[in-house]
Amino acid sequence: PPWPLGAPRAQGRVRADRAVGATRPTASMGCRLSLCGGPEDGGAVRFDMDYSPVSALGYPKEPNSLLDDRFDDEDLDDLASQRGMPPEKYSALVAAGKVVSLLIRQEGMEINLNRSVYDSAIILPQICRSGGNPRSFVHLSILGFAFLFLNFALQVVVLYMIDYEEQMMQDYSGQMKLCDFGANVETCPGGANCIGPSGTNYQNAGRMYSFQVWQTRTFIRDMLLSLFPNKAEEIMSNVDPGEYGVENYWVRFVCIFVFMMTVLSDITSTVDLMTILWHVPSSTSENWMEFHVPDWADKAIVKEFKDCSDIEFVKFKFAGMSRVWKLINCILIVIPKLLIFRMAASCGVFFLMETAGIQDVIVNVTALSFILNLDEMIFSLFSHKAVQHIIEHMEPFKTRPGVQEAENHSMKRSVEEVERDKRRTCFECVFLPWRSVAVVLLSAVFIAEYYWKNCKRNARGGWVSIDGHTPLRPAYNAWALILPWVEGAE
């Protein structure tokens, strides 16, 4: 009924939730009535009766989610009035505190899997051990390593063939290294890189061609000279083959930066795998999966409430791993992955630096990024649906326990976190974008390696190709992709 006129109103909440279709309270049915506050006691009365829901119609997935703030005696209006601010402003401060404690301060505390053959090769043997080594699990584990080796083979072969083309076949065709031929052609004829491979000055961009076009034009001129030697002077003055050079000096560096972002993503996942192998306990007493049914109701009621099957109760988590398996994973996964990173970075930068055309270098960086994503493609296409389900539902690996602690912060503590953040100095609040710094450093290192191995200074101070030679035999040493001091061709 309406509150009596003039009587003081209760400053609190009245909340009642009744199970749909329940006729009387039982062990699995009931209601919850929460009365906070009253005119007689100044808000000290509380009556609670727990319930367990029966139907999922219109309810959240967890019964506790019906309880605002877990009834922890925190009322947003009361806390806002204590600070003398509107509830909307206090709510914004609480949200800011959650962002600071759960997003900003917790970065790097969790590791999520990337849905690749590397993750499945590490996790499946441990899942197999935890489940008692059934034949199906053993088969899936073997397939996981088979797909891992397939990925290694494809990536190594593709990278080897790209480098073979660049280092061997171009030498057979007489193509010199591009280096900085024609770079900043707008500074010609007096610039540092204005002398082309033929020894003539570019003068302007109109005399610059790709290697194939320049080679064809040079062949036509030389053919005319050999057919009409008595008209050599006339041919040299009227037939201009131009010069071979780079169309744009800076687009190569931009594309290398883009490519290194993909490379850094790959090396970051490798570091994550190494972190997991380092931090998981070196024992086999812990299991990587369990069947967990919530304790707030029977399994049948929970399944009806959540509209799910038994597989939803199977939880996958990181647990202990024997030192033998840690060593196996390091030898078969981590070390080859690091070698492929080295091969991809070296071969990719060389490939992009040797691409003269603007459109060609942009297309090439897309192709190189595709090579590094082969592991995820193989996983999504070839892996069994059960393996994909396991990897998708694997709980994040927590490197530090601060995430769960921050999850339980009250509204008042969240506002206090904002106040502490305001008192931090500028140096404490500066977040170093280490990923972007790493991309810049990796790009600089491998670009410097390219100039060191393939270029030299000319008289004007520009970078030109080292002296070329025809390989003695068509065999390329693959170690040149990994070790910078090894020559690929004899």
Omega of the bond leading into 229 within 30 degrees of 0 (cis) = no
pLDDT on residue 401: 59
**How far is 160 from 154, CA to CA, in rounded Å?**
10
Q: What is the pLDDT of residues 192-238, one digit of tens each?
A: 888 888 888 888 888 888 888 998 999 999 999 999 989 998 998 88
Q: What is the pLDDT of residues 22-62, one digit of tens each?
A: 333 333 344 444 444 444 444 444 444 444 444 333 344 44
- Taking 90 as the threshold, does the pLDDT of residue 445 lie above it? yes
- Considering only 76-85, 316-325, 385-394, 405-414, which range has the smallest mean pLDDT? 405-414
- Taking 80 as the threshold, does the pLDDT of residue 3 lie above it? no
DSSP sequence for 124-183: HHHHHHHTT--HHHHHHHHHHHHHHHHHHHHHHHHHHHHHHIIIIIHHHTTPPP-TTTTT
- Taking 50 as the threshold, does the pLDDT of residue 403 lie above it? yes
Q: Point out which residues pair with 14 in neighbouring strands.
A: 35
pLDDT on residue 39: 43
DSSP annotation of 2: P
For residue 397, give the 3-state DSSP assignment: strand
DSSP annotation of 280: S
pLDDT on residue 340: 92
**How far is 349 from 159, CA to CA, in rounded Å?**
12
Q: What is the pLDDT of residues 116-175, one digit of tens each?
A: 999 999 999 999 999 999 999 999 999 999 999 999 999 999 999 998 888 888 888 888
Q: What percentage of the chain exceeds 90 in pLDDT?
A: 33
297-to-59, 70, 304, 311 alpha-carbon distances in Å: 15, 19, 11, 17
> Which residue bears the tokens 């049948």?
300
Q: What is the pLDDT of residues 408-425, one digit of tens each?
A: 677 777 777 777 777 776
pLDDT on residue 91: 86
Q: Quick one: which of 185, 122, 181, 89 has its CA closest to 464?
A: 181
**Statement: the pTM of the whole predicted model exceeds 0.85:** no
pLDDT on residue 400: 66
